[in-house]
Structure 1
Amino acid sequence: MMEPEHAKFDATTFLAKAGLGRRIVRVKAKHVFFSQGNPADSVFYLQKGRAKLTVLSEKGKEATVTLLSARDFIGEESIAGAVGLRLATATAITTCTALKIERTEMIRVMHEEHAFSDLFVKFLLARSMRTQADLVDQLFNSSEKRLARILLLMAEFGEPGEPEMLIPKITQGTLADMIGTTRSRVSFFMNRFRKMGLVDYNGRIRVHKSLLNIILHDQLPEQNAEKPPIVDLPQARSKIAMRALREQK
């Protein structure tokens, strides 16, 4: 008598349903999956919604590291060696549905199911490439191009869907943190994009595919006098100090 074959493992089904060592969680907008410094004891698989990773410095300055969308893993550092602490805070931007996978179950399924480990490695490679692209973007592109790129990433261009997409509600301050500039410059660039017909916004931002021209073809008009000036702080302080000395004389 032939022994029954084991049911074929399906990674999509595994990540869609609760089971041993995993459960479905729902996180409301502005609530956290976990906080920086918490024990890194689980991995989340984002099924629906958008989230962000932020880090907080010892001086209390917060920076947004990356944005997360459906089919992303969150907190993958929990399976790297011994149980450590969370390196960042994961916060829901919109209401999220996620599968919370306990560390031991995550390690087990990676060892036993090649289909799952293949999927997870592909995610890690994609995340690594995204991080490298973010670094190149910061080093070589203007803040205006960096803003265009982050808007396109949030709209998930290149993914199945409409050619013009609404992005989740996000503040100009958060966008400024992500591209390494000031809120006033983000406001200026957003107004400029809107006048050029690249975006629309009235509470929610709608990104038009024409914004791709800025990234792919560098089709930006010449900078104009409306652009907010960049103040050289050391130089400005020096001028103020010299003026004060002259007034004392």
Structure 2
Amino acid sequence: MSISPHVQGSKEFDPLAFLSKAAAGRTIQRYRKNQKIFSQGDVADAVFFIRSGKVKITVLSEHGKEAVIGFLTERQFFGEGCLDGSKLRGATSHAMEECVITSITRTAMLAALAKEPKFSTFFLTYLLARNSRIEDDLIDQLFNSSERRLARLLLLLANFGKEGGPMPIPVTLSQETLAETIGTTRSRVSFFMNKFRKKGFINYNGKIEVRRSLLDAVLRDKPQIREDE
């Protein structure tokens, strides 16, 4: 099998440029809001890279109960389980808004990782960051109140910690989805959202605008973001 010129060893190799161009083994597709990308149980034969937009990952139990297990945003991979021998998808992915996503076949992904050290480093950096995020999520679930978990989720969705200031979350997340993600009830989420709004931490009119003050409250562990007993 021939390897695309973009996968040949080169000091000029740019991982983002590689992931932004369609070629043998790579396709670029636009997804509309709520469109399914792949379903739990589908054949796992490709890795996906989000060029723009946000993606929701869910799992369905054998009893038919759905759970949200994560939200992904631009410059993140998903579906990489196929590289480790997974034959079927263990979860379902949906576009939360209009997305542009690069799909890379398992064969093309393995070739790029083998031939391009810069791409391997780029991918490894992502995996390490994701692993750290999973550990933080576990600690969050084990030790933090549901109010603090909601605050952290809103900050993550609003991309705080990245370049730029406060920005609206460009999607409308239902309170049911927020509740499922942090492991509490819709009524508690509604209570906390109203509390955050009254405190001036967020604006909440159709879409959520997260303000810097919410981040300050979380970092300083202020009492107002702790769950009332």
Return the TM-score normalized by structure 1: 0.85
Sequence identity percentage: 49
Contact 1:148 / 1:214 at 8 angstroms: preserved in 2?
Answer: no
Does 1:80 pair with 2:80?
no
Which of structures 1 and 2 has the bigger CA Rg? 1
Does 1:158 pair with 2:161?
yes
Does 1:21 pair with 2:28?
no
Distance, in Å, in 2 between the alignment partners of 1:222 and 1:156 is: 19
Contact 1:152 / 1:212 at 8 angstroms: preserved in 2?
Answer: yes
Deviation at 1:48?
Answer: 0.5
Deviation at 1:9?
Answer: 2.0
Return the TM-score normalized by structure 2: 0.92
Aligned counterpart, 1:221: 224
> What is the identity, as a one-letter code, of the residue corresponding to 1:164?
P
Cα pair distance change 1:42/1:222, threshold 3 Å? closer
Distance, in Å, in 2 between the alignment partners of 1:174 and 1:119 is: 31
Aligned counterpart, 1:114: 117
Deviation at 1:57?
Answer: 0.5
Distance, in Å, in 2 between the alignment partners of 1:116 and 1:73 is: 13
Instruction: Give 5+ residue unaligned stretches, structure 1.
Output: 230-249
Deviations 1:89-120 (A, max 9, x none): 11100010011101110011111111101100
Instruction: Give 5+ residue unaligned stretches, structure 2.
Output: 1-7
Which structure is richer in relative contact order (CA contacts within 8 A, separation 6 or more)?
2
Distance, in Å, in 1 between the alignment partners of 2:225 and 2:33 is: 39
Distance, in Å, in 1 between the alignment partners of 2:23 and 2:59 is: 31
Distance, in Å, in 2 between the alignment partners of 1:69 and 1:92 is: 10
What is the SS of the residue equivalent to 2:71? strand
The within-5 A match list for 1:86-105 is 86-105=89-108
Aligned counterpart, 1:205: 208
Aligned counterpart, 1:52: 56
How many residue pairs get aligned? The number is 220
What is the SS of the residue equivalent to 1:201? strand
Cα pair distance change 1:124/1:93, threshold 3 Å? same
Q: How large is the RMSD of aligned CA atoms in angstroms?
A: 1.8
Distance, in Å, in 2 between the alignment partners of 1:223 and 1:155 is: 20
> What is the identity, as a one-letter code, of the residue corresponding to 1:156?
N
Divergent runs of 4+, >4 A: none
> What is the identity, as a one-letter code, of the residue corresponding to 2:30?
R
> What is the identity, as a one-letter code, of the residue corresponding to 1:203?
G
Aligned counterpart, 1:169: 172
